[in-house]
Structure 1
Amino acid sequence: MKLSCRTFLALALAGLSLNALSAELRVITHSSFAVSKSLIADFERQNGVKVSFIKAGDAGEMLNKLILTRAQPVADVAFGLDNALVARAVEAGVVEPYTPSIDRDIRQQLPGGVVSVDYGYVTLNYDKAWFESRKLPLPRTLTDLTRPAYKDLLVVENPATSSPGLAFLAATVKALGEEGAWKFWSALRANGVKVAKGWSEAYYTDFSKNGGARPLVVSYATSPAAEVFYDKKKPAESPTGNLFLPGGVFRQVEGVALVKGGAEREAARKFVDFLRSEAVQKDLPTQMWMYPVRESVTPDPVFRHAEKPGFDNTPDERTLAAKSRAWVARWTRVVLK
């Protein structure tokens, strides 16, 4: 914004801070995005901008909003596009490629000029106390989930609106093949699987650890660590555990991208670099419960409860781009209709 000398003087005489004239950087995110307020404040001060966050639900919902508003973009930066969604975002023309200035010691990458920020593993979590109190053995295979002993015990997220929901679906297709996956999902439906709109609903409403009725939930390998971190008593063991079932593990890489047609391009690029900075990479593990992509950054010690699987069932991005929408459509017919 250019100011005339007269306007500048009038503002100075009025005692107004020039910070009031800072540009607004609009950042659209999924509902789980979190970075410490002090770091955001530092970014704003150093770059002369005000960051406004737009929480748009789960990542799938966020992408849908970007697509619906692409003629008049509602944001300048989008965070939360992952390897299950990025190809769709690129195909829809809602993001612009960008090469960050911080591109060293990075574990995971994303295609299409979307910049990776964190990664994790979508998998099943279970409520330890629930299973122990009922002396029910844990399922050992995906097929076990379709057996009578596990009827009405599982909640999953809708892959049409949820990135972990899509990730779990993709993992089952990768492991079982398309026809095998539809047979599995049909059997799950018959065995009482519940479908939630997104991760927050599944984990905080339906999961038995949080007062729901379902002791099995599609979540993240880091969720048991979060349970310990937020517990005031800091238990030696997490009350929840991971089930790394063959065919049920997806390696998710999340990224940030410039929104095509967005304003404040220079500030947007700086914000992308900011999310790759050492300070943010150290902060995000206990904020968003994902692993940092910078290899040199060590997460908080509580991540000893966030074991990593020795395998995953993640389709490549090209397959996800070509097949995921058809998978979701078929899943909807099999499970919801």
Structure 2
Amino acid sequence: MIAAAAASALALVAGCSLSGGSGSSSSSGNSPQSTDHSVTLVTHDSFVVKQEVIDEFQRSSGIKVTVLKSGDAGALTNKLVLTKGNPIGDAAYGVDSTFASRALGEGVFQEYQSPEGDKGPQRYAADGSHKLSAVDVGDVCVNVDTGWFAAKNLPEPKTYQDLADPKYRDLLVVEDPATSSPGLAFLFGSIGKLGESGWTDYWTKLKANGVKVVSGWEEAYNQDFSGSAGKGPRPIVVSYASSPAAEIGQDGTPRTKALLDTCYRQVEYAGVLSGAKHVDDAKKVVDFLLSEKFQAQVADQMYVYPAREGVALPEAWTKAAPLPKDSAALPADKIQANREHWVQQWRTLVQG
């Protein structure tokens, strides 16, 4: 996932409001709607949309959209799997590329190929089933506090291998891949970059070099990372390529930087749930999530990159948060076959 906590905290930095917690339900907009057309959209906790955008969609479509927030990407996926026989909604958004294979393998989604998909989202297709449509991209990358390194006269790390160098001992904080989407993406990134024969040795070196592991992004970024508002003790953190856009100083210069050689491609998807009560309207909601109007506000609202081609990013992102061009990625079927095994191996290596 693009982790729910990540978008939440970054959105708060940007002055956005995120209402509704895990398992909560909130209605988006109070415009008059036909009671014959309604869709429950199940999302992660960080789903945010400008009120005027959702209001316009509801007016023009006649569909009332109710948002049911259900935790981060992992919790959302688990809930969708557990309730697939009696789905808790009609459509879902927020299952990401680290969990998509599980949702697809469990039959959570039904086939629907949105006409908006050929505007770019299908380049991020999870597989060939046409059951998930890419809504946004939020690559997970190591971030550094550039001011900290300048003050210490220490060169910034650039690669995965650099993080295991003794000169960066006790400087890195990461999230637990068993409990955190960015933590899982960082683990996958190390496997993608270093191979199945090299990643275990790499994590052994990271452990020896004093890596700190915490349960989730919010703790890592807002408490341990020195470059955030929390002013923690560690200047290197696993976060997102977009994170520096939230750390721009009054002089217009970003205070942090994403290391683009350490990124893992993370995509968030939407789809129509199998067994949905309002299938036709759910399809229109998926179309809406891929539409230019919705896509144009995802960077400001959720600190992610739009999946649709030709959608401009905020001006500040050009310098502070460019979309990585060479992120690591693993095939969905490989993730599905190995996810639990890799996480267990990681636990044995790092926590055992």
TM range (shorter): 0.7 to 0.9
| Partner residue of 1:320 out of 315, 332, 335 | 335
Matches within 5 A, 1:223-238: 223-228=243-248, 233=250, 235-238=251-254
CA distance in 2, matches of 1:202, 1:124: 12
Residue in 2 aligned with 1:334?
349
1:86 aligns with 2:100: yes
Residue in 2 aligned with 1:126?
144
- Counterpart of 2:245, as a letter, is A
- Counterpart of 2:324, as a letter, is P
| Partner residue of 1:35 out of 37, 41, 49 | 49
Identity of aligned residues (%): 41
Contact 1:61/1:161 (CA < 8 Å) preserved in 2? no
CA distance in 2, matches of 1:171, 1:315: 8
CA distance in 1, matches of 2:255, 2:315: 17
Residue in 2 aligned with 1:210?
229
Alpha-carbon shift at residue 284 of structure 1 (Å)? 0.9
SS at match of 2:258: strand
Matches within 5 A, 1:272-287: 272-287=286-301
Instruction: List per-residue Cα deviations over 1:69-112 (Å, max 9, x = no partner).
Output: 22332222221222222111111121222111213331533223
Residue in 2 aligned with 1:4?
none
Counterparts in 2 of 1:288 and 1:315: CA distance versus 1, 3 Å: same
Matches within 5 A, 1:66-105: 66-105=80-119
Contact 2:141/2:241 (CA < 8 Å) preserved in 1? yes
- Counterpart of 2:348, as a letter, is R
Counterparts in 2 of 1:105 and 1:139: CA distance versus 1, 3 Å: same
Instruction: List per-residue Cα deviations over 1:2-48 (Å, max 9, x = no partner).
Output: xxxxxxxxxxxxxxx97484655222222332221211122223333
1:242 aligns with 2:262: no
Counterparts in 2 of 1:65 and 1:176: CA distance versus 1, 3 Å: same
1:271 aligns with 2:277: no
Counterparts in 2 of 1:147 and 1:329: CA distance versus 1, 3 Å: same
Structure 1: give runs of 5+ residues left out of the alignment.
Answer: 1-16
Contact 1:125/1:243 (CA < 8 Å) preserved in 2? yes
Contact 1:61/1:162 (CA < 8 Å) preserved in 2? no
SS at match of 2:142: strand
Contact 1:226/1:286 (CA < 8 Å) preserved in 2? no
Residue in 2 aligned with 1:195?
213
Matches within 5 A, 1:135-174: 135-174=153-192
Alpha-carbon shift at residue 123 of structure 1 (Å)? 0.8
Residue in 2 aligned with 1:11?
none
Structure 2: give runs of 5+ residues left out of the alignment.
Answer: 1-30
- Counterpart of 1:238, as a letter, is P
Matches within 5 A, 1:101-116: 101-106=115-120, 108-110=123-125, 111=127, 112=129, 113-116=131-134
Counterparts in 2 of 1:332 and 1:71: CA distance versus 1, 3 Å: farther
1:307 aligns with 2:315: no
CA distance in 1, matches of 2:44, 2:350: 25
SS at match of 1:268: helix
- Counterpart of 1:333, as a letter, is T
CA distance in 2, matches of 1:54, 1:148: 46
Counterparts in 2 of 1:183 and 1:81: CA distance versus 1, 3 Å: same
Alpha-carbon shift at residue 279 of structure 1 (Å)? 0.5
Alpha-carbon shift at residue 50 of structure 1 (Å)? 3.3
Instruction: List per-residue Cα deviations over 1:260-299 (Å, max 9, x = no partner).
Output: 2232222211110001111111111221222222212222
SS at match of 1:133: helix
Greater Rg by CA: 1
Cα RMSD of the aligned pairs, angstroms, is 2.3
- Counterpart of 2:347, as a letter, is T
1:47 aligns with 2:61: yes
SS at match of 1:178: coil
Contact 1:124/1:217 (CA < 8 Å) preserved in 2? yes
Counterparts in 2 of 1:155 and 1:102: CA distance versus 1, 3 Å: same
Number of matched pairs: 315
TM-score (norm 1): 0.85
| Partner residue of 1:222 out of 225, 233, 242 | 242
Instruction: List per-residue Cα deviations over 1:224-272 (Å, max 9, x = no partner).
Output: 12323xx6x3x32101111123xx2212222111122232222211110
Contact 1:122/1:218 (CA < 8 Å) preserved in 2? yes
Report runs of 4+ in structure 1 exceeding 6 Å deviation: none
